[in-house]
A and B are shown apart, each in its own frame.
Chain A
Amino acid sequence: MSLKRKDLLGIQDLTVEEINLVLETAESFKEVTGREIKKVPTLRGKTVVNLFFEPSTRTRTSFELAAKRLSADVINFAASTSSVVKGETLLDTARNIEAMQADFIVLRHPEAGAPNILARLLRASVINAGDGGHEHPTQALLDLYTLREKKRAFKGLRLAIVGDIAHSRVARSNIYALVKLGAEVRVAGPPTMMPQEIERLGVTVFHRLDEALRGVDVIMMLRLQLERQGIALFPSIREYSRLYCLTPERMKLAGPDVLVMHPGPINRGVEIAPEVADSVSSVILDQVTNGVAVRMAVLYLLSGAK
């Protein structure tokens, strides 16, 4: 079985079957990542290029580990240290990389749709590692994997996604995925961080966090993008924190055995209280561990498409 597509650009155009195929395949790779020798020869001779136009530690490292554990060769391009600063366009950069016989290009870019352009023009498989406010499909897939591991089924699962929904590609990819899989998705955040007509994606909007959390099985916190605060979406971080920080008191409103997730990096004391981030309900580090297995599955499944 393979994904019958060259590229992974987003969750929106994936079928439920494709999502499940990735999650099932990732299970086999999780076994590999738990071994003493965490390496299989499957992608020997293939080249994976990480092309990152935005800072990232977790995602880039995770893709790098995933590729290395499949025995592929990995090259990391960070825009800040490449010819991009000399004025080279995205497409020229990518064409040059492809001329070096790259098989996969893992792209993170500040503009929504950048991976789609590359996918159309290049022979290499393109994997979207986050494009602007659009999608971050592998993050959603690793969140789903973690959820499935802990909660078994998606149908009827009640989730609250909390924070800056409007600027979050993680939220968007997760909403697409969870709604497809039959979960009940609530989104919570201040009106300035809530996209217009988000209800059309099949979610319920809350502006008061306490109401959103009532009885949920999973809380997905989003990072408050402090670097965006110049845009004045909120009077102050302190006020945001008072209204939207996940505290131990607020945790009591959620259902029993609630899971707390966060795509990282976390701002302790801003959107999540340290006691919550470090509590037994938190699966934040499981998400990171599972990320490698899920990305191995994506690389493996895309390499099978001919």
Chain B
Amino acid sequence: MEVKQASRTVMDAQEINRALTRVAHEIIEKNHGNANVALVGIRTGGVYLAKRLAKKLQEIEGTAVPVGDLDITLYRDDLNARKEHPVLRRTDIPFDITDLKVILVDDVLFTGRTIRAAMDGLIDLGRPGEIQLAVLVDRGHRQLPIKATYVGKNLPTALEETVEVYLEEAGTPDRVVLLP
């Protein structure tokens, strides 16, 4: 992927890692450990972040948490308005989420519509005991009453700006970039 000239790096690899470490500790603090906790990453960026958080939780607590991938395409509220459907990928949650504290993980929290779709998708798979939300970047401009439980970085943005999250797993060095 190409980064435009006027872009500004707002988080580098080290800052991303520190933010995730802090979020992992907050998850453990809030849930009194990681028992009954499951991580579900929203495709595509959230999937990588969920795996990283799971690794950190295991390092801190010594026990593994289940991790799943969620594709929200079928639950989007803009399928009729878009010119073309987004690529449909697989939801892969190989465990029963009923009664678990499910932490949804996404890279950027913006309008909140993705999270609304993700919660609908999740509830079709079972009845979680609780749904929490962890995001790497909260850029504001919510269109729905949705709030993250854990935030890596609060990033004030203008509505027309774009926030791009690049992650190693996708073949690009870790960084968060703000584009005009």
A306 to B82, CA, bound (A): 9
Q: Are B85 and A300 in contact (CB under 8 A)?
A: yes
Q: Are B85 and A35 in contact (CB under 8 A)?
A: no
- Residues facing B in A267-306 (CB within 8 A) are 300-301, 303-304, 306
Q: Are B71 and A28 in contact (CB under 8 A)?
A: yes
A216 to B124, CA, bound (A): 42
**B113 CB, min distance to chain A CBs, angstroms:** 14
Q: Are A1 and B124 in contact (CB under 8 A)?
A: no
Q: Are A35 and B79 in contact (CB under 8 A)?
A: no
- Residues facing B in A32-63 (CB within 8 A) are 32, 35-37, 39-42
A2 to B85, CA, bound (A): 6
Q: Are A35 and B125 in contact (CB under 8 A)?
A: yes
Per a CB cutoff under 8 Å, which of A1, A24, A31, A304 touches B79? A304
Contact with B along A146-159 (1 / 0, CB 8 A): 00000000000000
Contact with A along B12-24 (1 / 0, CB 8 A): 0000000000000
Contact with B along A78-119 (1 / 0, CB 8 A): 000000000000000000000000000000000000000000
A28 to B88, CA, bound (A): 7
Q: Are A1 and B84 in contact (CB under 8 A)?
A: yes
- Residues facing A in B121-176 (CB within 8 A) are 121, 124-126
Q: Are B85 and A28 in contact (CB under 8 A)?
A: no
**B171 CB, min distance to chain A CBs, angstroms:** 21
Given contact pairs A300-B85, A304-B84, A42 touches B79 in the complex (Cβ within 8 A): yes
Per a CB cutoff under 8 Å, which of B84, B87, B92, B126 touches A31? B92
A1 to B75, CA, bound (A): 16
B residues in contact with A40, CB < 8 Å: 74-75, 121, 124
- Is B120 located at the chain interface by the 8 A CB criterion? yes
Q: Are B90 and A27 in contact (CB under 8 A)?
A: yes
A residues in contact with B75, CB < 8 Å: 40-42
SS class of chain B's interface: helix, strand, loop or mixed? loop
Per a CB cutoff under 8 Å, which of B74, B87, B120, B125 touches A1? B87
A residues in contact with B71, CB < 8 Å: 28
**B38 CB, min distance to chain A CBs, angstroms:** 17
A301 to B85, CA, bound (A): 8
Closest chain A residue, CB of each to CB of B121: A40
Closest chain A residue, CB of each to CB of B71: A28
A306 to B84, CA, bound (A): 7
- Is B4 located at the chain interface by the 8 A CB criterion? no
A residues in contact with B121, CB < 8 Å: 40
**A20 CB, min distance to chain B CBs, angstroms:** 12
Q: Are A42 and B84 in contact (CB under 8 A)?
A: no
Q: Are A1 and B85 in contact (CB under 8 A)?
A: yes
Per a CB cutoff under 8 Å, which of B86, B90, B120, B124 touches A35? B124
A42 to B89, CA, bound (A): 14
- Is A247 located at the chain interface by the 8 A CB criterion? no
A28 to B87, CA, bound (A): 10
Contact with A along B72-104 (1 / 0, CB 8 A): 011100010011111111111000000000000
* Extra inter-chain contacts (18) besides given A28-B90, A35-B124, A303-B85, CB under 8 Å: A2-B84, A25-B88, A28-B74, A28-B88, A28-B89, A31-B92, A35-B125, A36-B125, A37-B124, A37-B125, A40-B74, A40-B121, A41-B120, A42-B74, A42-B75, A300-B74, A303-B79, A304-B84
Closest A-B pairs by Cβ, 6 of them: A304-B85, A40-B74, A42-B74, A28-B88, A2-B85, A37-B124
A–B Cβ pairs within 8 angstroms, 19 of them: A1-B85, A1-B86, A1-B88, A2-B85, A25-B88, A28-B71, A28-B74, A28-B90, A32-B74, A35-B124, A36-B125, A41-B74, A41-B75, A42-B74, A42-B79, A300-B88, A301-B85, A303-B85, A304-B85
